[in-house]
Amino acid sequence: MNTLRAIIDRRSIRKFQNKNIPQDMIAQLLELAIKAPSGKNRQPWRFIVLRGQSKRELVKIMNQKVKLLKKQNLSVGSSELSINAISEAPVVILVFNPFSKDEQNNNHNRLLMDTQSIGAAIQTMLLAAQDIGLATLWICDVFYSKREICSWLNRRDELIAAVAIGYANQSPFPRPRKDLSEVVEWLD
């Protein structure tokens, strides 16, 4: 793997080809994701892989919630774009933190540590996918439907994100980034 090339070339993909991904490729991505660094080696990630009917059910749940929120004149963020990407992607992985309910009131620092660890696992998954020719989209719009999604899956864990995975059906240009001078302060 050329790590630098994967970092430079990775893009958020919102349009996917209608092409299945072998289960062993998804398993490989997950094996790599769980090698990410994790504060105190807690490994606070849990993954649910959705394909076929389960993915269509996720889309249905999210669509219903968007309709309800819009009816109430509430924000839906970019949920509709995310739902379209989820619909097109052959695989969606939901990412959960099983420890967050225990830590919310007890240890804020541990909750932050776990969230960072999960972010590292997701980023590792995205870069591994890039390296093996798969495209991804890190999705947080699932937050608008988190209660409904967790209820459907009978999960008490905190929903952290979703990752849509497939073969790209678009080639977006790099998004603009702030200049280093705007985001870095050097101290001697």
pLDDT-wise least confident of 16-30, 71-85, 102-116, 128-142? 102-116
- The Cα 83–Cα 34 span in angstroms is 26
Q: Kindly provide the b/e burial profile for residues 48-74, where b requires at least 16 CB atoms within 10 angstroms of the residue's own CB.
A: bbbbeeebeebbebbeebbeebeeeee
Cβ contact 45:121 at 8 Å: yes
- Summarize pLDDT for 20-36 with one digit per residue, the tens: 999 999 999 999 999 99
Whether pLDDT at 39 is above 80 = yes
For a pLDDT cut of 90, what percent of the chain falls above it? Answer: 87
- Domains along the chain with CATH numbers: 19-170 (3.40.109.10)
Terminal CA-CA length for the chain: 35
Confidence of residue 105 (pLDDT cuts 50, 70, 90): low
Which letter does DSSP use for residue 176 in this model?
P
Per-residue confidence (pLDDT) for residue 161, from 0 to 100: 98
Calculate mean pLDDT across residues 142-169.
96
- Summarize pLDDT for 131-140 with one digit per residue, the tens: 999 999 999 9
> What is this structure's pTM?
0.93
- The Cα 104–Cα 101 span in angstroms is 6
Per-residue confidence (pLDDT) for residue 101, from 0 to 100: 73
pLDDT-wise least confident of 38-52, 77-91, 92-106? 92-106
